[in-house]
C-alpha cells in the first residue's frame, strides 16, 4: 500500500495507453474499465465517464429534459460550476440557502424556492458532507423534480448507511486535480435509470446512434459503412480521454486509501478545533460519514479577522489554506444578471427578469466571509499534517 498521490498503478495504465499508439481498434479500453469499476464500487447500474465534472451536470440536465427558461435550484456556497452547468442549458439557477451548522443546502429553503417553472434540484455534498437527501428526495417527489447530486467533493461519503450518490436520479463526480481521486481532469455521471443513461451517453458522445448506456463508442464496422447514419441527435464531445481514464482507473482502485488520508487529517483538526469556542466546524450529523475534501470551519468569534487568522496560522508553520468561494450570485458573471426572452434563438423560451440581490441567502452570506478551508490532501507526508495540527492548536491558543 502507498499513501502517495500517484502510485505505480497509474504509471502502468498510462503506459498501456501510450503503447497502443491511441489506435481505437487496439486501445487499452481504459474508459470501459473505469466505468465498470465505478459501477461496482458505487453500486450503480450506469456510470458514464466525461471530460470533467462540469459537463457531467450539463449532460445530465439535458438528458433530464431541462429546457431554456426552466428553473434549477442550487446552493450559492460552492464552486460556480454547479450554476454554470445550469446556464449552459439556458436554464435559470435559483439559489436556496444553506444550513448554518452543516453548510450544505437546506431542504426547507429548497421548498420555499419552488415555482411552477422549477424542474430540477442540484444538491451539493460540500466539503465531503451529504445534504439531507431523504428530505430533498421527498420534496422532489412531491413536486416531480429531477435530482442531480453534485458530489465533486464527496467520494465514499455516506448518508444513513448508503454511499453518497445513490439517492438522486443522477450523481456527478469530478476527477479534477484537487479531488479525492484525480486524473488532472475528468468526471463521472451515474444513474440507475436506463433511459437517462442512454440520453446521457448520446449527449456525451456527439449524438452518435451507435452509443448507449452500455456502449462506449461506435464500432469501426459501422463508421466504414457509407450508408451509416451517425448522428441521431445533437450532442457534445464530452468524452474523457484514454490517458485521463487510465490515471482515474489507478486512482479508483486505491480510492479507500486516498479518502482515508483526508479523513485522518480532518480528524486531527477536529480533535483540536472542538476544544475552542472561537471556531465552529462543519457539523457531521449522526448517520452521516464525511469524506473531508477539506476541513471547514467558521470563525465564530467576531473579534478574529480572517486575514489575521491566516497570518498567525502561517507564522506557526501552517500551510496556505483557502477561503470559501465568494457566493455564486455575488460573482460578476451572476450579479444583477438579467435573463431575457431569447426569441431569436429559442421560439418557446419564455423568460422573466431575474436578479440576485444581497440578502437572497442570508445564512450563506453570513458564513462565507468567515469560513476557513484547511487542506487534507497530505498524501505520503505524515509530518506535514502533524505540522498543520500543531499550527492550528497554536493559532487557536493565540486567539483564545
Residues annotated as catalytic (active site), given as ranges: 179
Neighbours of 234 (CB within 10 A): 10
Distant-in-sequence contacts of 349-356, Cβ < 8 A, 24+ apart = 349/67, 349/68, 349/69, 349/90, 350/69, 351/68, 351/69, 351/92, 354/92, 356/95, 356/329, 356/330
Residues forming beta bridges with residue 149, ordered by sequence position: 171
Distance separating alpha carbons of residues 229 and 208, to the nearest angstrom: 8
Residue of 114, 119, 136 whose CA lies nearest to 64 = 119
Pairing assessment for the beta strands 279-281 and 294-299 based on DSSP bridges: antiparallel
Give CA torsion, residues 298, 300, 306, 309, to 10 deg: -100
Instruction: Please give the angle made by the CA atoms of 14, 18 and 22, to the nearest 5 degrees.
Output: 120
Amino acid at each position: 500500500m502507498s499513501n502517495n498521490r500517484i502510485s505505480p498503478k497509474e504509471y502502468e495504465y498510462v503506459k498501456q495507453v501510450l503503447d497502443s499508439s491511441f489506435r481505437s481498434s487496439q486501445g487499452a479500453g481504459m474508459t470501459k474499465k473505469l466505468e465498470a469499476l465505478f459501477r461496482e464500487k458505487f453500486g450503480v447500474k450506469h456510470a458514464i465517464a466525461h471530460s470533467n465534472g462540469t459537463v457531467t451536470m450539463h449532460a445530465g440536465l439535458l438528458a433530464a429534459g431541462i429546457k431554456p427558461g426552466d428553473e434549477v435550484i442550487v446552493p450559492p456556497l460552492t464552486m460556480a460550476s454547479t450554476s454554470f452547468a445550469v446556464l449552459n442549458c439556458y436554464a435559470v439557477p435559483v439559489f436556496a440557502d444553506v444550513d448554518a451548522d452543516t453548510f450544505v443546502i437546506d431542504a426547507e429553503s429548497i421548498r420555499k424556492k419552488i415555482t411552477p417553472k422549477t424542474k430540477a434540484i442540484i444538491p451539493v455534498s460540500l466539503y465531503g458532507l451529504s445534504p439531507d437527501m431523504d428530505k430533498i428526495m421527498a420534496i422532489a417527489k412531491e413536486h416531480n423534480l429531477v435530482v442531480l447530486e453534485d458530489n465533486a467533493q464527496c467520494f465514499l461519503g455516506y448518508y444513513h448507511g448508503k454511499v453518497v450518490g445513490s439517492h438522486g436520479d443522477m450523481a456527478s463526480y469530478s476527477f479534477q486535480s484537487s479531488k479525492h481521486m484525480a486524473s488532472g481532469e475528468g468526471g463521472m455521471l451515474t444513474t440507475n435509470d436506463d433511459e437517462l443513461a442512454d440520453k446521457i451517453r448520446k449527449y456525451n458522445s456527439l449524438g452518435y446512434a451507435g452509443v448507449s448506456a452500455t456502449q462506449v463508442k461506435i464500432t469501426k464496422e459501422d463508421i466504414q459503412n457509407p450508408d451509416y447514419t451517425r448522428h441521431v441527435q445533437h450532442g457534445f464531445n464530452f468524452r474523457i480521454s484514454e490517458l485521463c481514464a487510465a490515471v482515474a482507473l489507478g486512482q479508483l482502485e486505491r480510492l479507500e486509501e486516498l479518502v482515508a488520508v483526508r479523513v485522518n487529517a480532518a480528524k486531527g483538526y477536529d480533535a483540536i478545533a472542538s476544544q475552542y469556542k472561537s471556531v465552529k466546524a462543519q457539523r457531521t450529523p449522526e448517520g452521516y460519514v464525511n469524506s473531508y475534501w477539506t476541513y471547514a470551519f467558521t470563525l465564530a468569534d467576531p473579534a478574529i479577522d480572517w486575514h489575521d487568522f491566516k497570518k498567525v496560522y502561517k507564522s506557526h508553520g501552517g500551510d496556505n489554506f483557502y477561503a470559501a468561494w465568494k457566493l455564486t450570485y455575488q460573482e460578476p458573471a451572476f450579479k444583477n444578471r438579467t435573463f431575457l426572452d431569447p426569441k431569436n434563438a429559442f421560439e418557446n423560451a419564455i423568460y422573466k427578469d431575474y436578479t440576485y440581490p444581497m440578502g437572497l441567502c442570508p445564512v450563506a452570506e453570513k458564513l462565507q466571509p468567515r469560513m476557513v478551508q484547511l487542506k487534507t490532501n497530505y498524501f505520503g507526508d505524515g509530518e506535514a499534517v502533524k505540522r498543520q495540527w500543531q499550527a492550528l492548536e497554536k493559532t487557536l491558543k493565540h486567539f483564545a
